Structure 1
Amino acid sequence: MDHLFIERVVTIVFIFFAIRFPKAVVANGTIPALFSFGDSILDTGNNNNLQTITKCNFPPYGRDFPGGTPTGRWSNGKVPTDLIAMALGIKETVPAYLSGNLSPKDLITGVSFASGGSGIDDLTATTQRVISQPAQLQMFKDYIGKVTALVGQQAADIIAKSVYLVSAGNNDIAITYSQLLVTTVPFPVYVSRLIQTTSDFFKNLYELGARKVWVFSTLPLGCLPAARTAAGGPLRICAPIENQYAQTFNGQLSSAVDSIRASLSNYDIRFIDVYTPFLNIINNPQQAGFVDVSEACCGTGAFGVTGVCNLLTVCPNPSTYVFWDFGHPTEKAYQFVVSSIIKSQINNV
């Protein structure tokens, strides 16, 4: 995410969550691959070589990732793209499409097209200088050409049977609207634009052959460390207006997903509520073994002052924190919520 916004203590976002689960809870073979689109919740390193400061391919990011490598994932370890692929029995980690060293096996079993800092609104990606939703869709079209060259007609089968994750809307609300458009555009008008644009994106995925799409809600945006600092008052409570924005958007997104599923035959598109389980962790942290829910392990200093995550600002034990940095959870927090999602979806995968 753009560190200019960090330094301004901007209300920023993107995330997802969960608990440790068996390596594979679905027999591999039924789902050949997993793909992800959207923002930093699902990005596994597509921003690394972009001309943007919205990247995290440096320590201490990735300190708990296999090998301790900063891969461009916005966490101390794995992100939901990896955790869900692992839980579905596909593979341990999902590479970024732009990583530059993809093997044929990588392509056949899935990649991430997501870009940290991106959103539904093209203005969001332009501001952050990252990969927009239309550009991610073009990357997927390029992918289809590559995998078709590898496996021929089998490509269509892979595309149809795979699971697609989409996370977007977080940055549109927390950055583009709250910081750029709040005084000129009524929020209901902006939400309607987002819903129409993202609905078109889901229809485009269907036209390209996708049939199993999981659409993530936003998180409780007001509860992110940056939001608490910027708009949570002296006690740094969850900023109510940001959570209200998120709830409004999520409600309309859920309705839009239901409408699309009803209008397109054989389209298993699902709304995945991550707002509620994540808020449950924040409200009841001890049950999940967390100690701190308001500050970040990396980048939140004394009195909740939010700064840049680096080796000088990192805590010794990320597993006790819900948040890794100003707006992203620790791997442990991701694990708890991903676990609950997998359990709720397992009988219908």
Structure 2
Amino acid sequence: MEQKTNLLLILLFSFASLLTLPIPTTASQPISAVFAFGDSTLDSGNNNRLPFTLFKSDHKPYGKDLPNHVPSGRFSNGKLATDFMVSKLGLKDLLPAYYDPKLTDRDLLTGVSFASGGGGLDDLTLAVSKATSMSKQLEAFDEALGRMRKTVGEQNCSEIVKNAVFVISAGTNDMVFNMYELPVTVRKIAFSPSRYQDFLLRALGSFVQNLYKRGGRRFQVASLPPIGCLPMQLTIGSIFNGLRRVCVDKQNKDSQAYNTKLQDLISRLQASLSGSRLAYFDTYNPIMDMFSNPDKYGFSQTHEGCCGTGLVELGPLCGELSLTCTDASKFLFWDSMHPSQAAYSVLADMAQKTVLPYLIA
């Protein structure tokens, strides 16, 4: 009898202890997939199918440090930040291009890139680049959703989209093509750089809202890099600066101003889109730190790209006959506009430490 009484007391005490524990809220779901939209920093080969664009990287020496050493259409010597991202998340080794002919319907379930090299938030940018517009990228996503529904059903598809991360990187080409590169453009006549930034950010906000309407809830939006420190901009700037290859201060200040506005936009979208998580991903300061403190990251060259002379080579100018540096891991930039695999790895590590914890909290 005494043993039964003691057992009953223990059970009652244990039950009372459970009542004092905090009741867990709904646990955050792990990231199911990564969907990428925007420009060449996220394009893993979509431009390969575009016949009229010069912005292609489906030829050597692009991709020389990929596992199979074959150019895939990535604008780098190897992996992009989103490739490192999906690998770290355990989703897949590389984030494929939506228009990769080898892509399967099952591949879509863990993510894909819709981005297009030379793309931007302004359709007039496409007049120069002949890239795929953001609206066309959205249409491709709608098509992908249809394929996913057929594969796993409506409910499972909705869950995948809800728990996916939508990575967006756009705006650099818009500023370069419409505000800096050409002496006279329609946008330069109509807008000051500040007003043009506002125009771009309205387009970006609308794009995020459209993804939200399709079920997206987790968004990682990249800032502008220090545009004035890209090798191409150093080269062009040197013409007006006594041939000195120094960062174009005005362009960097424009990038910083845009990024401040972008953070404000993200805060407003976060407040208005119920149940969403929007994260600002700062690329400006990490790239600026790599540029200014190369030894810290193991770089020996930050002012020139690895491909060719490193001054102007990009796309078709970075070709199989170009003299290429022996070790791209020592270069911040692969060509005159795009980071090297080593730089993308640094950015991916920073995103994993700063952005992803917020998105999955």
TM-score normalised to structure 2 length? 0.85
Q: Distance in 2 between matches of 1:197 and 1:329?
A: 26
Partner of 2:267: 258
Partner of 1:196: 202
Deviation per CA, 1:123-168: give whole Å up to 9, x if none: 1123211100011011111111110011002100000001110000
Match of 2:166, as an amino acid?
Answer: Y
Partner of 1:318: 328
- Counterpart secondary structure, 1:231: helix
Tell me how far 1:261 sits from its aligned partner. 0.3
- Counterpart secondary structure, 2:224: coil
Whether 2:292 is the aligned partner of 1:287: answer no
Give percent identity, aligned residues only. Answer: 37
Whether 2:353 is the aligned partner of 1:343: answer yes
Aligned residues of 1:79 and 1:331 also touching (Cα < 8 A): yes
Greater RCO (Cα-Cα under 8 Å, separation 6 or more): 1
Whether 2:287 is the aligned partner of 1:278: answer yes
Q: Distance in 2 between matches of 1:98 and 1:292?
A: 34
Q: How does 1:7-156 map to 2 (within 5 A)?
A: 30-51=30-51, 52-152=53-153, 153-156=155-158
Whether 2:227 is the aligned partner of 1:218: answer no
Q: Distance in 2 between matches of 1:169 and 1:345?
A: 20
- Counterpart secondary structure, 2:280: strand
Residue segments in structure 2 that go unaligned for 5+ positions in a row: 1-28
Q: Distance in 2 between matches of 1:183 and 1:143?
A: 39
Deviation per CA, 1:26-52: give whole Å up to 9, x if none: xxx811111100001110000001022
Moved more, 339-348 or 271-280: 339-348
Tell me how far 1:183 sits from its aligned partner. 4.6
Tell me how far 1:197 sits from its aligned partner. 0.9
Partner of 1:4: none
2:251 to 232, 238, 242: 242
Match of 1:94, as an amino acid?
Answer: L
Match of 1:191, as an amino acid?
Answer: Q
Partner of 1:174: 176
Whether 2:168 is the aligned partner of 1:162: answer no
Tell me how far 1:309 sits from its aligned partner. 1.1
Tell me the C-alpha RMSD between the 2 structures.
1.4
Q: Distance in 2 between matches of 1:227 and 1:324?
A: 15
Aligned residues of 2:312 and 2:336 also touching (Cα < 8 A): no
Aligned length: 319
TM-score normalised to structure 1 length? 0.88
Larger radius of gyration between Structure 1 and Structure 2: 2
Moved more, 242-251 or 154-163: 242-251
Aligned residues of 2:331 and 2:340 also touching (Cα < 8 A): yes
Partner of 2:318: 309
**Alpha carbons of structure 1 residues 66 and 305: separation in structure 2 relative to 1, 3 Å:** closer
